[in-house]
Amino acid sequence: MAPKIIYYVAAGTALTILLLTMKAKKVFTKITAAMKFRGADPLGDGAFGSSRSGGARSHKGVDVLATPGQNIFAPISGTVTRYPFPYADDKRYTGIEIKNTDYLVKMFYIAPTVPIGNHVDAGQKIATAQNISAKHGAAMQNHVHFEVYDHNGALLNPTNMFI
């Protein structure tokens, strides 16, 4: 009887460790020197899944506080694939996409400094932060929007994935 109990305890412990490791996999380097998340301000909340447009949609990423002109760093090593726009009707703000075999990262409200097609290393300067308050007013904290997709295209919550 004792060997069975030891087996079950060991198996349960191993499963718990595996699940905790998978849930909190740390894969992204800091995108700003301070790496602080935007909380709630009068214009919304920067957390993953927060309500947008009166509940019609959810926030697809996390917002990281950034001062306009501040250096922004690559969260992963990969290739710069394009410069997307966060708003179809407003080309003042730009973004960057970086892709590797595991992740596709999109970051908005930045001015990229690395050409499309170039390889970047995690921690390398890739952009400077833009002034999002210029569009939304001083009530919105300046930030960089950060969203992540896995290799199958599934949206991930990156909140606890930063090293």
CATH number of 26-156: 2.70.70.10
The rounded distance, in Å, linking the Cα atoms of 161 and 130 is 24
pLDDT of residue 16: 47
Residue 142: DSSP 8-state: P
Pick from 91, 127, 95, 89: nearest CA to 108: 95
Q: To the nearest whole percent, how much of the chain has pLDDT over 70?
A: 83
Quickly state the pLDDT bin for 140 (edges 50, 70, 90).
confident
Distance, CA of 74 to CA of 124 (rounded, Å): 5
Mean per-residue pLDDT for 76-92?
Answer: 92
Listed by start position, the domains of the chain span 26-156
pLDDT in tens, 7-61: 555 555 544 444 444 455 789 999 999 999 998 877 778 889 887 766 677 889 9
pLDDT, greater one: 49 or 129:
129
